[in-house]
């Protein structure tokens, strides 16, 4: 599988878009958020029930997200990232996959979230840090 930078370079150097599309047909499929989340489960060695506990989200809501029946807000995607114990790069990818902006280090709230991810904090501790800084907690 090619990374995005490789694909961008190929597009820039392409003389014919049809050739590019044919050569990279297998690279064009973007997974749904539910597919993406379900791919993380074996990679992280966990079950949806583990994600429920570690994300502090409603059990039925999380299962609906993993089945593709519900689409979560940005905060819920971040909570799921904590539930899956994703690192900062993995969290950024998940946010992009969900169609949300990445965590931005110049934003106070996002900076605290990035710090918490890098420190491997659990979501309860994350919310305490946010609350202590008078910033909206993850719900």
Say if residues 24 and 10 touch (Cβ distance below 8 Å): yes
Q: Are residues 26 and 37 in the same domain?
A: no
* Measured distance CA(104)–CA(8) in Å, rounded: 23
Whichever domain contains 88, its CATH number is 1.10.260.40
Number of domains into which the chain is organized: 2
* Measured distance CA(129)–CA(61) in Å, rounded: 25
Residues of the chain where predicted confidence (pLDDT) is lower than 50: none
Query: What residues make up the domain containing 43?
Result: 31-132
The DSSP string of 26-58 is GG-PPPPHHHHHHHHHHHHT--HHHHHHHHT--
Q: Are residues 55 and 35 in the same domain?
A: yes
Nearest to 99 by CA among 74, 124, 123: 74
Q: Are residues 51 and 116 in the same domain?
A: yes
Q: Are residues 71 and 83 in the same domain?
A: yes
* pLDDT value, residue 34: 95
Q: Are residues 86 and 104 in the same domain?
A: yes
* pLDDT value, residue 10: 92
* pLDDT value, residue 101: 96
* pLDDT value, residue 4: 84
């Amino acid at each position: 599988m090619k990374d995005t930078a490789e694909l961008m370079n190929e597009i820039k150097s392409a003389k014919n878009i049809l050739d590019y599309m044919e050569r990279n047909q297998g690279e064009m499929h973007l997974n749904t958020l539910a597919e993406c989340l379900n791919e993380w489960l074996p990679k992280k060695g966990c079950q949806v029930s583990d994600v429920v506990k570690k994300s502090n989200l409603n059990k039925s809501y999380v299962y609906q997200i993993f089945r593709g029946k519900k689409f979560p807000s940005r905060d819920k995607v971040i909570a799921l990232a904590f539930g899956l114990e994703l690192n900062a790069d993995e969290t950024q990818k998940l946010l992009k996959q969900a169609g949300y902006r990445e965590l931005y280090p110049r934003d106070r709230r996002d900076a605290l979230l990035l710090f918490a991810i890098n420190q491997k904090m659990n979501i309860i501790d994350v919310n305490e840090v946010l609350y202590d800084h008078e910033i909206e907690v993850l719900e």
